[in-house]
Amino acid sequence: MMTNKDYQEIVEKKYGKPLKEIMYELCVIRDVVPWEGASELGVPKSTFLSWRNKFRFGPIQRRADFVRQMRDNTINKYKQELEDIDFERDFIYKDEKTIRGFKEIMERLLELERYKRTLLDDEDTSSDILITMKIATIEQTLNYLMEYEQGKLHEEFNRERERIHYGRK
């Protein structure tokens, strides 16, 4: 009975390159299903699946790795943006109950939430989701404020109202 190692040697010799490159082409570039990949390589399906898992080329593994990479990129971006931020600085519009004052506190809350996200460890997914939702909410609020100040929010409302109105008929 042949082992996965025996099959690996045969496949690498046949294709003239490392198994990881071969599996990358099959799983990532061509996105073959396990039986198809196993058939093409001349190995049992269980061997193909074992190799796919070993190199993290399965669809769920690739998705998880992609999400982790996106998370890491976002956190690194936040760290760079927050590098020179002084969280103790005074508020300029603290005593105003105006849109200007509201915008300032929302911008500061956004900085704080982004900073909190950089402090989370990888295992704290529920807190990460909660903070990510808070960040998205604050960002959208700031976008609405910007559109309002530019006189575009009423236009957006009317567009959405029309879209919904015509969708109901």
pLDDT at 167: 67
Q: For a pLDDT cut of 90, what percent of the chain falls above it?
A: 89
Pair 109, 131: CB distance under 8 Å: no
pLDDT at 1: 87
Q: What are the tens digits of pLDDT across the range 14-56?
A: 999 999 999 999 999 999 999 999 999 999 999 999 999 999 9
pLDDT at 121: 76
pLDDT at 14: 96
pLDDT at 126: 87
pLDDT at 140: 98
Q: What are the tens digits of pLDDT across the range 73-109?
A: 999 999 999 999 999 999 999 999 999 999 999 999 9
* Mean pLDDT for the stretch of residues 135-157: 96
Would the pLDDT of 168 be above 90? no
pLDDT at 34: 97
DSSP string, the chain: ---HHHHHHHHHHHHTS-HHHHHHIIIIIS---HHHHHHHHTS-HHHHHHHHHHTT-SHHHHHHHHHHHHHHHHHHHHHHHHTT--TTPPPSSTT--SHHHHHHHHHHHHHHHHHHHHH--TT-HHHHHHHHHHHHHHHHHHHHHHHHHTT-HHHHHHHHHHHHHHHT-
89 vs 142: CA distance, rounded Å = 20
Pair 114, 79: CB distance under 8 Å: no
Which is more confident, 4 or 122?
Answer: 4
